[in-house]
Structure 1
Amino acid sequence: MVFEAAPASFTFEDAAKLVSQIGILPLAPLIPDHPSLKSLTKEEDWHTDTELDPWKWRVRFPAEGLAAYGKFLKKKAVLVDREWFPYFAAVLGNARTFRERYSGGLAGREAHVILEIIEDNEGIETRQLRAEAGMKAKEKKTAFDNALNELQGSSDIVISGVQQRLNADGAKNGWNSTSFETAGHWMRGTGIESFPGTREEAVLWLKARMEPVWTQDAMAWIHKCWA
């Protein structure tokens, strides 16, 4: 099933309905024969700070508990429907906790440091997080970004929103800053229960939901990601 943008403006309500139907919606084209928020909306609506601005929707989804948001696939931003997310997270994160993976040498030290800070400061914004992690130096930016991508790619953390950057006088200063929280904290706050089953059971649940609404190429792509 291939979705195309309608001639009329594509609204947040349209996007919310679609996410609930297909479960996973990337912001930009990512999955073959599968819609993205970019492909469904008008270029002129982006970054307008209006109700039709999809850039605003990316944080409205998690704020309203409709979908999790983060760089979950191939380090790319994706929305995952609230019903799908527990199963999706079980597949991405495997059966072991982050600390079990870290103890087994399967997770990085920087990611471990950053996760502990986020756990102690749910909703922390990027600049503060980077400072508390001792990674403000320019040469540490890549390691910081990689650690955030690692934690999102294993669904340990999600993007919870954005905060307006302010200067010392309280005036707006530069781009908004992304905020992060643990996936578990976001789920508890939105009334979503974790999936208690195995990774294999989670894959089967997702396959059953995808088959009626995803193309074969799209399913083949996502299954390769999970292999």
Structure 2
Amino acid sequence: MKINEIYNCSGLVEYINEIGFLPLLHMGLDGWSAEEAVDEECRYVTLPDGGWEWPLWEWKGDIIRESGCAYGKFFARKAAFISREWWPDFCNWRRNVYPHPEESSIEDMILQTLQENGSMITRDLRKACGFTGTKMRGKFDTYISRLEMGCYIVTEDFVYSKDRHGRNYGWGMVVAYHA
């Protein structure tokens, strides 16, 4: 499959499976991202009314559900897809670099909360772990990113808020899953 010739979600799934792992956005290596792999019509566009369209962004959940690939902040805390075939080796390598969190650490508490509750929207996970109040979201996100980098948490899906007309809006909330 050639770069810039991907026009739909299934084409991107095929490409991810072909190459094994693919960052969502450009990370400094030209041509090595989903953003660069898709046709220009699938890239981010600002609309005249101030809104936006971004088919690639909307495909993230579908890609995870259809392909069974992993999605998370795996490279320099940037989001990427890892194919089902590559996941075991990638996961083993990352867990060697990022050993299991120490018992009773904040990361361990987050993992235990996920084990007890199953997958959770990160907003609910943050509350369940006691990260409420001002400036706590950023601190919590740092712990989640570390757990993603070690392949202990992956994104299972995305949940979108709805406007008064029932349309999705926003960037989507992550549904985290203990890997």
Indicate the SS of the match to 1:30: coil
TM-score, normalising length from structure 2? 0.80
Work out the percentage of aligned pairs sharing the same amino acid. 24
- Per-residue deviation at 1:27? 0.5
Structure 2 counterpart of 1:84, one-letter code: W
Which runs of 5 or more residues in structure 1 are unaligned? 184-227
Aligned equivalents of 1:120, 1:147: Cα separation in 2 = 18
SS in 2 for 1:93: helix
| Structure 1 Cα separation of the partners of residues 64 and 168 of structure 2 | 25
Task: Quote the Cα distance in structure 2 between the aligned partners of 1:121 and 1:31.
Answer: 38
Distance 1:149 1:95, change over 3 A: closer
Cα drift, residue 17 of structure 1: 1.4
Find 2:85's aligned residue among 83, 91, 94.
83
Distance apart, 1:30 and its partner CA: 1.7
How many angstroms does 1:33 deviate by?
Answer: 4.3
Q: How far does residue 19 in structure 1 lie from its aligned partner after superposition? A: 0.9
Alpha-carbon contact 1:110-1:143 (below 8 Å) kept: no
Query: Aligned AA for 1:102?
Result: E
Please report how far the alpha carbon of residue 81 of structure 1 lies from its aligned counterpart in structure 2 after TM superposition.
0.5
Counterpart CA distance in 2 for 1:38 and 1:131 is 32
Q: What's the CA shift for 1:10?
A: 2.0
Instruction: From the two aligned structures, give the one with the greater helix fraction.
Output: 1
1:15 partner amino acid: L
1:131-170 pair list within 5 angstroms: 131-165=127-161
Name the structure with the higher strand share: 2
User: What is the deviation of 1:115?
Assistant: 1.3
- Partners of 1:28 and 1:36 within 8 A in 2: yes
1:68 aligned to which of 61, 70, 74: 70
Could you say what secondary structure the match of 1:86 adopts? helix
- Paired residue for 1:178, among 164, 174, 178? 174
1:110–1:144 Cα contact (<8 Å) kept:
no
2-structure distance, mates of 1:130, 1:60:
25
The Cα shift of 1:31 comes to: 5.6
Task: Name stretches of at least 5 consecutive residues in structure 2 with no aligned partner.
Answer: 45-51
Structure 1 residue 35, shift from structure 2 partner: 2.1
SS at match of 1:152: helix
Partners of 1:43 and 1:137 in 2: CA distance = 41
Q: Pick 1 or 2: higher relative contact order, CA cutoff 8 A, min separation 6.
A: 1
Question: What's the secondary structure of 1:134's corresponding residue?
Answer: coil
Q: CA deviation at 1:13?
A: 2.0
For 1:95 and 1:40, how far apart are their aligned partners in 2? 29
Residues 166/40 of structure 1: CA separation in 2 closer, same or farther (3 Å cut): closer
Query: d(CA) in 2 for partners of 1:40 and 1:65?
Result: 17
Query: For residue 18 of structure 2, what is the aligned residue in structure 1?
Result: 21
1:117 is displaced (CA, Å) by 1.2
The 8 Å contact of residues 166 and 172 in structure 1, kept in 2 or not, is answered as yes
State yes or no: 1:4 paired with 2:3. yes
Q: Distance in 2 between matches of 1:29 and 1:181?
A: 25
Distance 1:14 1:30 in 2: 21
Distance 1:84 1:141 in 2: 31
